[in-house]
Amino acid sequence: MDRVPLVGASAGQRLMSIHLSGGGWPFDDEGAVFRPFLDEATRRATDAGRLDGPRIAIVLVRDGDGPEKFVELSAVFGTLGKIDPIAVLAPEGAPIDDSLLDDIDGLVVWGGLVPAYRESLKESFQSIRALVESGVPYFGMSAGAAVVSDGALIGGWRIGDVQVCPIDASQEIEQVTVEEGIGLIDTTIDVHAAQWGTVARLIAATEAGIVDGGLAIDEHTALIVGEGALRVVGAGSVWNVTRDSGTVRVSTIGIG
C-alpha cells in the first residue's frame, strides 16, 4: 500500500500534507516526527509574506491542564524553529472556537481522550477540511490522528464478549466503536500501535467487518499523507491491515 485515499480535494487544488503521529512525548530523534510539518508550515508562511514564523493553531481538548500543555508544546515546537503559536483550547464536552483557525499556516490537533476530541471538533469538521484543501498542513498527534478518518475508530476494548486489546487502550469505551470523523482520509487510523497493543484491535475490527482495514501507527512515528507516495518518519512502523480473500493480512510500512 503506497497511498491513502484523500477526501475532499478536487483537481487543481493545492493539497498540503496530513501528518499523523501514533503518539509518544516528549519527542525524540531531534524532532524528526515534527520537522516535515513545520517545514511545510514555514514555507506557507513565507509565501504569505510572514517572516516571523508560521502561525500554528494548536488544538487541545483537555480538562484542567490545557493552558499549561499549550505553553509546553509552544516551547518545544519553538526549539525546532520560529513559530507564532495560537491556542485553541476547549474542555472535554465543549466545542472549539474555529474562528481561531482563520489565517493560519499549520494546524496541530493534539492528544488526549479520542471521543472527547471528536465531540469538540465535530462542528468544525467542514472548516478543517476546507483548511487542508486550501493548503494548510495538518498534524494529528494520537487523538488528533485517530479522528482524521471518514470513519474514526474512537476506542473500545471488546467486540461482543471478546477482548481484542488491553483495557488501558479503551479510551473509556467498552465496545470497539467507529464514529464520523473529520473526513480528511478514507482509511481508518489507530494509534499507539505497538506500545498499547492496538494493532490487535484494528485486526479484530477488520475481521469483524467494523472497518474495512486501516493503518495503526507506532509512537514516535508519523505517517505523511500527501499527493505522492506515503512517507513514514520517526522511530517505528505503520501497520497496514487489509482484507484478503476472506482473511486479514498485516504488513508494515517502514521509515523512508
- Identify the residue with better confidence: 31 or 133: 133
Average pLDDT over residues 128-157: 97
What band does 103 get if pLDDT is binned at 50, 70 and 90? Answer: very high
pLDDT in tens, 161-211: 999 999 999 999 999 999 999 999 999 999 999 999 999 999 999 999 999
Query: Is 137 exposed, middle or buried (CB count within 10 Å of its CB: 0-12, 13-18, 19+)?
Result: buried
DSSP 41-58: HHHHHHHTT--S--EEEE
Helix residue ranges per DSSP H, the chain: 35-47, 66-78, 114-121, 125-133, 143-146, 193-196, 198-207
Distance CA 193, CA 10 (A): 32
Radius of gyration of the chain (CA): 17
Average pLDDT over residues 63-88: 93
Domains of the chain: 18-253 (3.40.50.880)
CB contact at 8 A, 111 and 58: no
Distance CA 169, CA 176 (A): 11
pLDDT in tens, 1-11: 444 655 544 43
CB contact at 8 A, 115 and 146: no
| pLDDT value at 256 more than 80 | no
Q: Which of 85, 74, 149 is nearest to 117 (CA)?
A: 149
Average pLDDT over residues 94-106: 96
Q: Specify the amino acid at residue 38.
A: L
CB contact at 8 A, 178 and 211: yes
Residue reference for cell 511545510:
40
Mean pLDDT across the chain, nearest whole number? 92
| pLDDT value at 132 more than 60 | yes
- Identify the residue with better confidence: 204 or 51: 204
- Determine the pLDDT at residue 15: 57
Percentage of residues in the chain having pLDDT higher than 90: 82
